[in-house]
Amino acid sequence: MNVTHILFLKIFCLAVLGQLPRSSSLSSSTSSEAAQLTRARLTQALSSPSGKLTLSPEMLIPEPSNPTAILLQASAITQLSERVRSRAKANTAFLSANSLSSLRIFCNEQEDARGNFPGPVPVIYCGQSNSDEENDDDDDDDALDLSELAATGVSGILVSINEGAEISFIDTDIVGGEDSQWLSMYKNALENGLQPVPEITNLVITKDSS
């Protein structure tokens, strides 16, 4: 296992096992139970006790502008969701979309499969779809209401560690404290019943001097 995998697994375990600092305002039993449920579902989906390869595709759902495409959007997303579960047999689905309604359609189709085989695939929100035209309205990730995101049915949200800043050493380079934007997002996600999933975008590997 290389350094990249080791560093990612250490941070992922910290988040999934809840060892990073949690918000003291996590007093709502409903939110707490929801966060525990999404964590359990993602942990089960992402683990592979038998050593089999797992598949977690990352997909972009664009917002169509063509009138015909708009009419067919819901049907296309429903079909995509069904194929990800039944044909690709994915473990999780990482989705980027500019519309909460697109996420809701995908998640509703997955939830309809609960109790069947194969069962629903947990969905992790990755932010806006870069394939769409720039939208300055309420689709801005910075203004994202996580309670509304949770209501779509997604299980988790991708959180960029250090907001994409360089990471060389896990013990010294990961910024914490009250001013940490990524940690604030982590806590906010838990308070809304979502499981934060860490993303490392700028990892610098240095050779061990020993």
Q: Cα(28)–Cα(175) distance, rounded to whole angstroms? A: 27
Amino acid residing at 20? L
Q: Cα(147)–Cα(164) distance, rounded to whole angstroms? A: 24
Q: How far is CA 105 from CA 16, 36, 152, 187, in A?
A: 26, 24, 8, 26
Q: Cα(165)–Cα(200) distance, rounded to whole angstroms? A: 9
203 vs 123: which has the higher pLDDT: 123
Q: Cα(91)–Cα(80) distance, rounded to whole angstroms? A: 15
Task: Give the least confident one: 10-24, 26-40, 43-57, 59-73.
Answer: 10-24
Q: Is 132 within 8 Å of 62 (Cβ atoms)?
A: yes
Query: 3-state class of 31 per DSSP?
Result: helix
Q: For residue 108, what are its two tokens?
A: 């509703």
pTM metric for this prediction: 0.76
Query: 3-state class of 59 per DSSP?
Result: strand
pLDDT value at position 82?
Answer: 97
Q: How confident is the model at residue 97 (pLDDT cuts 50, 70, 90)?
A: very high
Q: How confident is the model at residue 148 (pLDDT cuts 50, 70, 90)?
A: very high
Percent of the chain scoring above 70 in pLDDT: 70
Q: How far is CA 40 from CA 48, 169, 171, in A?
A: 14, 29, 27
Given a cut of 80, whether residue 38 has pLDDT beyond it is: yes
Given a cut of 90, whether residue 32 has pLDDT beyond it is: no
Given a cut of 80, whether residue 29 has pLDDT beyond it is: no
Q: How far is CA 115 from CA 98, 110, 112, 120, in A?
A: 30, 11, 8, 9
Q: Is 106 within 8 Å of 59 (Cβ atoms)?
A: no
Beta bridge partners of 6: none
